[in-house]
Amino acid sequence: MLSAFLWGFLASAALLVGAAIAYVFRPSLRVNGVVLALGSGVLIGAVSYELVEQALQVQSLLLVALFLLIGSGVYVVGVRLLASRGVQHRKNPGGRQVDAQSQAIVLGSVLDGIPESFVLGLTVLTGGVSVPFFAGVLLSNLPEGMASTSGLAAAGWGRAKVFGLWFVVAVVSGMSSLAGYVLLDGDGANAAGLAQAFAAGALLTMIADTMLPEAYEIERVWTGALVVVGFAGAVALGAL
């Protein structure tokens, strides 16, 4: 059980590393856009090969598709409840969070981390953490930490507040990973497959709603190519 918590916490701790990079090196908007696009591709690859593919091994295509839609719907409802407070710009590296409420940014960031962390706990339960999926989450959180921290700093957030945000997200992610382990312990592969499909729908929606729009706003024509590079990296990790 402890290992499930630690894997979720460690994956989200990349947000703290990304924040440190943002403060020490002060990467340009262009750099943030590149890493956001690459991270999107990596996470899309991890979702495809570590969630949907495995879910289809134990569940019918119809049920997998249904739970993809349910996961997406639940995520959309959660984000829309927070959208009026500016949460849709939480990954923007240019400071568009300036009008957002602090609580909304925290809740939005936590909401992003729950599905992927839940799956990490699930992979621990089903035979050991999935290295490709862990790497995908890690590599997507790093650019998120860089880009979001740059934007939060531009919006006037102090360092202690920013690092406090990412620490809270990392702890909640650890708890979500633990929940994935505990809630499905003993339920078998069928329940795990449905949980994987649900999480995949939520993650894909998060990528499309937050990461890709912010990356495209900066990179424009290069965004698609960078996403494919990230996706190819995830495929390579899956083949190891």
Check residues 133 and 76 and name the one with the higher pLDDT: 76
**What is the per-residue pLDDT for 102?**
52
Residue 63 falls inside a structural domain: no
CB 169 within 8 A of CB 12: yes
**Residue 95 and residue 100: Cα distance in Å, rounded?**
10
Q: How confident is the model at residue 169 (pLDDT cuts 50, 70, 90)?
A: confident
Residue 196 falls inside a structural domain: yes
* Mean pLDDT, residues 156-184: 87
Residue 37 falls inside a structural domain: no
Share of the chain above pLDDT 70, in %: 85
**What is the per-residue pLDDT for 231?**
92
* Mean pLDDT, residues 136-157: 78
**What is the per-residue pLDDT for 171?**
92
Residue 235 falls inside a structural domain: yes
**Residue 173 and residue 140: Cα distance in Å, rounded?**
14
Structure tokens belonging to residue 134: 């862990």
Residue 56 falls inside a structural domain: no
**What is the per-residue pLDDT for 201?**
92
* Mean pLDDT, residues 134-163: 80
**Residue 164 and residue 171: Cα distance in Å, rounded?**
11
Residue 240 falls inside a structural domain: yes
How many Cβ atoms are within 10 Å of 146's Cβ, its own excluded? Answer: 28
The reported pTM is 0.81
Decide if pLDDT at 125 tops 80.
Answer: no
**What is the per-residue pLDDT for 134?**
82
Residue with tokens 């937050």: 210
Check residues 224 and 180 and name the one with the higher pLDDT: 224
* Mean pLDDT, residues 208-229: 87
Over the chain, what HEC string results? CHHHHHHHHHHHHHHHHHHHHHHHHCCCHHHHHHHHHHHHHHHHHHHHHHHHHHHHHHCCHHHHHHHHHHHHHHHHHHHHHHHCCCHHHCCCCCCHHHHCCHHHHHHHHHHHHHHHHHHHHHHHHCCCCCHHHHHHHHHHHHHHHHHHHHHHHHCCCCHHHHHHHHHHHHHHHHHHHHHHHHHCCCCHHHHHHHHHHHHHHHHHHHHHHHHHHHHHHHHHHHHHHHHHHHHHHHHHHHHC
Check residues 51 and 100 and name the one with the higher pLDDT: 51
**What is the per-residue pLDDT for 133?**
75
Q: Mean pLDDT over all residues of the chain?
A: 81
Q: How confident is the model at residue 194 (pLDDT cuts 50, 70, 90)?
A: confident
* Mean pLDDT, residues 76-86: 76
Residue 156 falls inside a structural domain: yes
User: Domain range spanning residue 151?
Assistant: 1-21+112-240
Burial of 183 (0-12, 13-18, 19+ CB in 10 A): middle
* Mean pLDDT, residues 35-60: 86
**What is the per-residue pLDDT for 189?**
67
**What is the per-residue pLDDT for 51?**
84
**What is the per-residue pLDDT for 67?**
95
Domain count, the chain: 1
**What is the per-residue pLDDT for 162?**
87
